[in-house]
């Protein structure tokens, strides 16, 4: 279906985009209010689909374990940060330290691949 060549640089860009879209759909879940609000629901479902497509394309040049961990890590860090910023979730020292550790893990996986 998507038989396009993917260079390593493009794969990393696609993976980053997939991670950002994971943040969009996760936050969109909150705004969709259980898929009862039409536009936030449409954006959420579209971001879900595109995120998975981009993740799949990135796997043409990035190992599965690395790609999935980084995709999940980008989403986790982004959603946790936006939860603090948008939804007044607590920014405790332990929460911020944990977000920092996940970020270090993402950077570490990128550096070894």
The reply to whether 56 falls in a domain is yes
The reply to whether 64 falls in a domain is yes
Low-confidence ranges of the chain (pLDDT < 50): none
pLDDT value of position 14:
97
pLDDT value of position 3:
81
pLDDT value of position 103:
96
The reply to whether 2 falls in a domain is no
pLDDT value of position 2:
67
- Give the span between the Cα atoms of 53 and 85, in whole angstroms: 28
Helix (H, G, I), strand (E, B) or coil at 8: helix
The reply to whether 3 falls in a domain is no
Q: Residues 6 or more apart from 5 whose CB is under 8 A from it?
A: 60
Which pTM does this prediction carry?
Answer: 0.91
The reply to whether 108 falls in a domain is yes
User: Which of 49, 47, 71 has the alpha carbon at shortest distance from 59?
Assistant: 71
pLDDT value of position 1:
63
pLDDT value of position 4:
82
Q: Residues 6 or more apart from 64 whose CB is under 8 A from it?
A: none
The reply to whether 31 falls in a domain is yes
pLDDT value of position 5:
87
The reply to whether 1 falls in a domain is no
The reply to whether 54 falls in a domain is yes
Residue 38 sits in which domain range?
8-112
Q: What's the domain count of the chain? A: 1
């Amino acid at each position: 279906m998507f038989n396009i060549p993917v260079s390593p640089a493009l794969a990393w860009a696609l993976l980053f985009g997939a991670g950002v879209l994971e943040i969009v759909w996760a936050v969109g879940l909150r705004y969709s209010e259980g898929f009862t609000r039409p536009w936030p629901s449409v954006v959420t479902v579209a971001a879900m689909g595109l995120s998975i497509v981009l993740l799949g394309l990135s796997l043409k040049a990035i190992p599965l374990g690395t790609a999935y961990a980084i995709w999940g890590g980008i989403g986790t860090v982004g959603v946790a940060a936006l939860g603090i910023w948008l939804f007044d979730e607590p920014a405790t020292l332990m929460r911020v330290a944990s977000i920092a550790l996940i970020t270090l893990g993402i950077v570490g996986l990128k550096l070894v691949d």
